[in-house]
Amino acid sequence: MLTKTSVDVSLRALRTLRLLVLVSLCVFISVSAASSPAQEGDDTEKKAEESHRQDSADLLIFILLLTLTILTIWLFKHRRFRFLHETGLAMIYGLIVGVILRYAVQVPRDTNVVPTGCFVNASPATLLVNVSGKLYEYTLKGEISSNEVNDLKDNEMLRKVTFDPEVFFNILLPPIIFHAGYSLKRRHFFRNMGSILAYAFVGTVISCFIIGLLMYGCVTLMKHLGQLGGDFFFTDCLFFGAIVSATDPVTVLAIFHELQVDVDLYALLFGESVLNDAVAVVLSSSIVAYQPQGDNSHTFEAMALLKSLGMFLGVFSGSFSLGVATGIVTALISFLFTKLRDFQLLETALFFLMSWSTFLLAEACGFTGVVAVLFCGITQAHYTFNNLSPESQDRTKQLFELLNFLAENFIFSYMGLTLFTFQNHVFNPMFIVGAFLAVFVGRAANIYPLSLLLNLGRFNKIRSNFQHMMMFAGLRGAMTFALSIRDTATYARQMMFSTNLLVVFFTVWVCGGGTTQMLSCQRIRVGVDSDQENSMSFADGSERRSTKQESAWLFRIWYNFDHNYLKPILTHSGPPLTTTLPPCCGPLARFLTSPQAYENECQLKDDDSDLILTDGDISLTYGDITVSTDATGARTSGGLATDDLDRELAYGDHELVMRGTRLVLPMDDSEPPFTDHLRM
């Protein structure tokens, strides 16, 4: 009975979906036909109105596309199809609409584009044009190449559905990147911090240069064969390497989350993909900034290289500090204005505004907004999140989840659309084959050698099947697209853009679709509960010891500093500063310590317990330090001595459970900010 009902509903839903596809396509076509530029009036107001209607219709196309994607993906989820992720589906729908726009919709030749014959000796931002006695204001949109002029006049419709590339950087990417930072699974991220940083920084740079060199070879060969239709310098190749090095395995991570794949593998992949986006953005802008002085601007010059390197370091560290700073300011505000918790709307609004202002501040200062936003997200998740009321925690989670979902699917459906509507594609088979090879080799040169080196230092080795999986999961996505659409003025950039589109399509559909097969082929454990995994590692003495040692040099320093000083200053958790600061700083410590810290002292309310509690050996150890620094605690173990660490580890499962019952609070403060159920 119940099954019958469910099948009935499914069938009906499917039928409705089909109907909806038809209806929405009809609506969209009629709308776009109806709102094609009117021929009649020369009136400016009418033109502005027409233009506004056209804009609305264009945006409506995307909204309907997203709606369709949502309905279809629901069907897929409902039937547990895992071969196609929502982003892949969004691309397919985008492609279909792109084909329709390109071939099915006939738009009259546009009369709205007029080249002026007159000569101006500069390109001002604002131009005033005198049209039969009336002044009109024009704003600069950008330089345009002569071959674009014909396209311009040819198809207004296709031009109209082409968004300003800056939309991606200023509106769509920030929520995606912030959400990535905010939803970083902190405990596993910090446990693998060294490896993640290596993959993200060293790996991306390796990948960038390998791809750049290979592409330079490819381009040189093409030039010899006469296949190249324009300039393609070495810096262009490096630029290509930088933008195509930003991985974005949303599809893979969604399946990982659904199947509960090994948490370390998840953390490595997610952490790498989040951070290498940031590296790729700054790297690509540094490469663009490489401009040797003198006549031949494409030769090697040490000075210019140093300048680029300096710029890379400056912009990256600047964006990083700015992001962290805003995160800390937000944490401080939410820490001081404790009564703000009573007004969740104000709290959520404040959180949203402060996070947004990070982006704007970074952009206004000449840093990179998305990088700042990423680190702001991580900081917010680590500090501010603990100060928020439980309701605001939910609200902020859900808000950024929604924004991320919408922005991501919008970008991917736009990608599909743009394959047909973009006017200046340069598809060169040789370049494309070369690029696919280079991307493959570049990824391999990132993962395998680095894993080898990391395994020398890691006791908890990155096994070869993990390495293969990471190699396979090198999907390209939103960031690569946004970086390549940003500038499509030259021949080289156009070829890159077209090739990148194909790389994204291929990796999302083929690699993304094959994730489940790859997982079973590589015999990677699925259905791993992170808690369970911890108790398993307890059973294996050697592994336990290794994790401890691995984390020791980086994690230990950071954790101590964070736990003893930052957490108490920025959140209501952690030990009172009076117990952690040296006695000479007594007055300062008393001033800085929140009254609640004393109140909570007995309860040991550490909202960081998610990082401590279920996190196996090392975290357990540090969790204990929390106890030992707590003056009223009953435990006697003190300090950081290795003996204590080892003794701690011997407690094992039982201790974990005991501690769990002691530390867990009625609030859900202690949850990690996102459980990524959005990607289910």
Contact assessment for residue 616 and residue 655, using Cβ atoms and an 8 Å cutoff: no
| Structure tokens that stand for 289 in this block | 């900034």
- 141 binds a second copy per the rule CB under 8 A: yes
Helix (H) / strand (E) element for 495: namely helix 491-506
- 246 binds a second copy per the rule CB under 8 A: no
The residue count for binding a second copy (CB under 8 A) is: 112
Pick the binder of a second copy from 26, 38, 52, 297 (CB under 8 A).
52
Query: Cβ neighbours of residue 678 under 8 Å, at least 6 residues apart?
Result: 401, 404, 405
In whole angstroms, how close is the CB of 79 to a second copy at the nearest point?
Answer: 10
- 63 binds a second copy per the rule CB under 8 A: yes
Pick the binder of a second copy from 118, 303, 456, 584 (CB under 8 A).
118
188 vs 397 by CB, closer to a second copy: 397
The CA-atom distances, in angstroms, between 199 and each of 194, 238, 253, 453 are 9, 19, 17, 11
Site string for a second copy, 343-382 (x = CB under 8 A): x-xx-xxx-xxx-xx-xxx-xxxx--x-------------
| Structure tokens that stand for 579 in this block | 């117990």
- 289 binds a second copy per the rule CB under 8 A: no
The CA-atom distances, in angstroms, between 433 and each of 237, 242, 439, 491 are 15, 18, 10, 18
- 126 binds a second copy per the rule CB under 8 A: yes
At 126 the three-state DSSP class reads strand
Separation between Cα atoms, residue 242 and residue 487, nearest integer Å? 14
Q: Work out the burial of residue 204: count CB atoms within 10 Å of its CB; fewer than 13 is exposed, 13-18 middle, 19 or more buried.
A: buried
- 122 binds a second copy per the rule CB under 8 A: yes
Helix (H) / strand (E) element for 447: namely helix 429-457
75 vs 657 by CB, closer to a second copy: 75
In whole angstroms, how close is the CB of 556 to a second copy at the nearest point?
Answer: 33
- 395 binds a second copy per the rule CB under 8 A: yes
Burial track 64-102 (b if 16+ CB lie within 10 A, e otherwise): bbbebbebbbeeeeeeeebebbbbbbbbbbbbbbbebbb
Pick the binder of a second copy from 7, 18, 33, 78 (CB under 8 A).
78
- 429 binds a second copy per the rule CB under 8 A: no
- 398 binds a second copy per the rule CB under 8 A: yes
Separation between Cα atoms, residue 72 and residue 621, nearest integer Å? 47
Pick the binder of a second copy from 22, 26, 38, 144 (CB under 8 A).
144
- 405 binds a second copy per the rule CB under 8 A: yes
359 vs 538 by CB, closer to a second copy: 359
- 120 binds a second copy per the rule CB under 8 A: yes
336 vs 640 by CB, closer to a second copy: 336
Separation between Cα atoms, residue 199 and residue 194, nearest integer Å? 9
Site for a second copy in 543-572 (CB under 8 A): none
316 vs 400 by CB, closer to a second copy: 400
Pick the binder of a second copy from 39, 80, 103, 125 (CB under 8 A).
125
- 131 binds a second copy per the rule CB under 8 A: yes
Site for a second copy in 588-607 (CB under 8 A): 595
- 540 binds a second copy per the rule CB under 8 A: no
| Structure tokens that stand for 601 in this block | 């002292």
Which stretch, 71-79, 455-463, 642-650, 663-671, contacts a second copy (CB under 8 A)? 71-79
- 36 binds a second copy per the rule CB under 8 A: no
Separation between Cα atoms, residue 555 and residue 557, nearest integer Å? 6
Site for a second copy in 156-195 (CB under 8 A): 166, 170
Which stretch, 192-200, 245-253, 291-299, 392-400, contacts a second copy (CB under 8 A)? 392-400
Give the CA diameter of the chain: 90
H-assigned helices in 79-106: 86-99
In whole angstroms, how close is the CB of 337 to a second copy at the nearest point?
Answer: 5
Separation between Cα atoms, residue 476 and residue 279, nearest integer Å? 14
Q: Work out the burial of residue 332: count CB atoms within 10 Å of its CB; fewer than 13 is exposed, 13-18 middle, 19 or more buried.
A: middle
In whole angstroms, how close is the CB of 499 to a second copy at the nearest point?
Answer: 23
